[in-house]
Structure 1
Amino acid sequence: VVTAGNSERDGQEAVRKIQEETLTGKVEFLYCDLASMKSIRQFVQRFKAKNCPLHVLVNNAGVMLVPEKKTEDGFEEHFGLNYLGHFLLTNLLLDTLKQSGTHSHNARIITVSSATHYVGKLHLNDLQSRCSYSPHGAYAQSKLALVLFTYRLQHLLTANGSHVTANVVDPGVVNTELYKHVFWVVKLAKWMTAWLFFK
């Protein structure tokens, strides 16, 4: 298992915990900042240099409801990190995934989205939210883009007869660092909703 992230300290801590819990698990961390196209390309280069198969790619990085900010490449952060970063990473690893999938065991791409995509709108004339910035709107747009990307990717993979399956999932309400920029009233409402309906 190769884990990736933009914090060396957190990544190594995750590796340590996985190794403790699995005992036999072979896990390593490689640095990758999905808000940086350069970092993504460097990660893919390092991963491919290992010459190992890639059976499952989990696209799970993201930011949520952050104040207006741009990535180092100049993209609005929600769209740049949540969508464009995963788009580039997936496309750069697609050849390895295709080589790793077999007739009996497809390789898998699992992209984490959110039910928020239902209220998202793609502003094709303003994908970078330059005209008017809304953290909620930018987040929902990035998640809708991920869903549409996954649907289109699966269509292309099927048409090409590839042994790769693309899936998009909504993890539900999960207590993670993703909620650090969310107003406390919204957090409370989410936790109460989760407690009432998703026990």
Structure 2
Amino acid sequence: MADWTADDVPRVDDDVIVVTGANSGLGLAATELFAARGATVVMACRSTDRGQQAADEVRETTDDGELDVRECDLADLDTVAAFAEGVRETYPEIDVLCNNAGVMAIPRSETTDGFETQLGVNHMGHFALTGQLLPALVAAGSRSEPARIVTQSSGAHEMGEMDFDDLHWEESYSKWEAYGRSKLANLLFAYELDRRLDDHGLPVESVACHPGYAATNLQLRTGAESGFPFAETVMGLANRVLGQSAQQGALPMLYAAVGEAHGGAYVGPDGFAEMRGYPEIQESSSASYDEADARRLWERSVADTGVDYEFETAVTPA
């Protein structure tokens, strides 16, 4: 198969696409391309000031599409709920949700709701957001092609382990192991969500992806917050030597959103060690396909966030 590139991203005129973390890195790269193909992109950003600056940058590259910057702090479930309510009111139909935002390998802290921050932002916030936007996704999928929910994971999920007795690392903490757990949680969620959507016959597909090693501010923030001298410099050097551009790193997410990926798929780059290259369908770790863990994480996520997915009532209109 020929390499799938940005040129292969189709026109998405009239589509509404929600992207979390849209103001920088992979989210910004995807936002720019979605807009250039005619979409209305709802830019879910923790900082609306940075979001508006990013939107202005995108508008300098294309006068196609529409950009709507809104506050969504995944570390605060109240702002997630307010964001979801506002988006549903403005956009009764959402074609694609890209759960992209994340934090990586930071010192232990807690979200507003008391979750360990990496699991809270990378998984719990997106779990809550997805559940609250589900009716709009079902409405869009009922028109023609199924709507898609894309969840961004990482190759680091392979070092992740689920410990439901200490899910939020209250007894011990390793920042890289916590990151791995949060990325494993992303996959357990994405696959379980697709199974439940399919079981209820809903016109929405859940697809997972990972960017490989993309040179973004995520690594630089990790270095800056590590507490170790020169860590930011080392991360910057690794970005230059090993990393591919944010535009290239965003291709798996774009393919998962509008390419030939379907529910339950895992998309990543096809190059050396899956760190760079062009999108292809891959296999994730055996732990990510553990359905018992997936169900247990789902039940815990409902209990922790208070968001229970209304599959039975989110039905296709007659």
TM-score, normalised on structure 1?
0.92
1:59-118 CA deviation, whole Å, 9 max, x = no partner? 011110111111111111001111100000001111110111037411010111101111
Query: By how many angstroms is 1:3 displaced?
Result: 0.5
Conservation of the 8 A alpha-carbon contact between 2:105 and 2:175 = yes
* Contact kept in structure 1, 2:138 and 2:203, CA below 8 Å: yes
Q: Percent identity?
A: 38
**Partners of 2:91 and 2:208 in 1: how far apart?**
27
2:118 to 47, 53, 78: 78
Which residue number corresponds to residue 257 of structure 2? none
1:146-178 CA-partner distances (Å, limit 9, x unpaired): 100000000111111111110110011111121
Number of aligned residue pairs: 199
Give ranges in structure 1 of 5+ residues lacking alignment: none
Distance in 2 of aligned mates of 1:21 and 1:188: 28
For the pair 1:65 / 2:65, whether they are aligned, the reply is no
Partner of 2:222: 181
Match of 1:126 among 162, 166, 187: 166
Residue 112 of structure 1 corresponds to which residue in structure 2?
A: 152
SS in 2 for 1:92: helix
8 Å CA contact retained: 1:19, 1:25: no
What are structure 2's unaligned runs of at least 5 residues?
A: 1-40, 224-230, 245-270, 278-318
Q: 1:120 to 1:191 in 2, by over 3 A?
A: farther
Tell me, yes or no, if the aligned pair for 1:15 and 1:27 is still in contact at 8 Å.
yes
Contact residue 137 and residue 147 of structure 2 kept, 8 A: yes
1:24-79, Cα deviation, whole Å (9 max, x unpaired): 22111011100000000010111112144200000011110111111111111001
* TM-score, normalization by structure 2: 0.59
Q: Distance in 1 between matches of 2:99 and 2:213?
A: 17
SS at match of 1:83: helix
Matched, 1:4 2:44: yes
> Post-superposition shift, 1:194?
4.5
| RMSD (Å) for aligned C-alpha atoms | 1.9
Amino acid at match of 2:123: Y
Distance (whole Å) between structure 2 residues aligned to residue 103 and residue 157 of structure 1? 17
Deviation of the 1:186 alpha carbon: 5.8
